[in-house]
Amino acid sequence: MDQDKFIPQVKICGLTEVEQALQCAALGVDAIGCVFYPKSPRHLTDDQARKICLALPERIKAVGVFVNQTFSNIMHYAEFCHLSTIQLHGQESPKLVRSLCKENLHVIKALFVDGNPSLKDASNYQASAFLVECGQGKLPGGNALQWNWEQAKSFGEKHPLIIAGGLAPENVAHAIKVSSPHAVDVSSGVESSPGQKDIGKVAVFLDAVFRCGLKKKLRKIF
């Protein structure tokens, strides 16, 4: 890789087992996502999430994913599970983002190309970074739906951008090429079933990312 090219960071979301989290860490991911949303098939109990987060090497960031939770609930999980980053994936208020940032937490706010809050709402939030996806499907999250990732490119020129939704080993290189993100987030695209990661797919996904090189200097998200 040329020294003047930069590689996006990688977050693997929806881990449910310590062993798989450690395998992902060994392959070179930057962050692991733990889902605290009861309607998700990847939802974790307090104890499950704590075990995963405490087992991670220090360089791997533990991200808690929440949907329309209260400040007190989020802080409970953050403290009990030793979360370093909070991802808000619903219709949370800018006030909640500010409150969490005051607790020295990194906050990622999800914005949606075809939903609310939209990309135009970014200026209302003082988030550490923004995750952008299409916003379609039954549940909050990418729902394995591909979209036109190029729609996020101009957004990423102004804001720390994570792209998600429909990413998989066979398309992540194209997604990076057209959107120039600072990081990518994948869940179902590297699974054998909901919550069960296929480590072979994770390895191929990471290899595809590592082979990408962007000419612009990227912001560190995790």
- Is 218 contained in some domain? no
Exposure of 99 by Cβ count < 10 A (0-12 exposed, 13-18 middle, 19+ buried)? middle
Note down the domain range covering 186.
9-210
Q: Is the separation of the CB atoms in 101 and 107 below 8 Å?
A: yes
Q: Which of 207, 215, 214 is nearest to 10 (CA)?
A: 207
Number of domain units in the chain: 1
Q: What is the pLDDT of residues 20-45, one digit of tens each?
A: 999 999 999 999 999 999 999 999 99
pLDDT per residue over 77-86, tens digit each? 999 999 999 9
Is 219 a member of any domain? no
Confidence at 148, pLDDT banded by 50, 70, 90: confident
* CATH code of the domain covering residue 158: 3.20.20.70
CA 200 vs. chain centroid, Å, equals 20
pTM above 0.85, yes or no: yes
Residue 43 domain-assigned (yes or no): yes
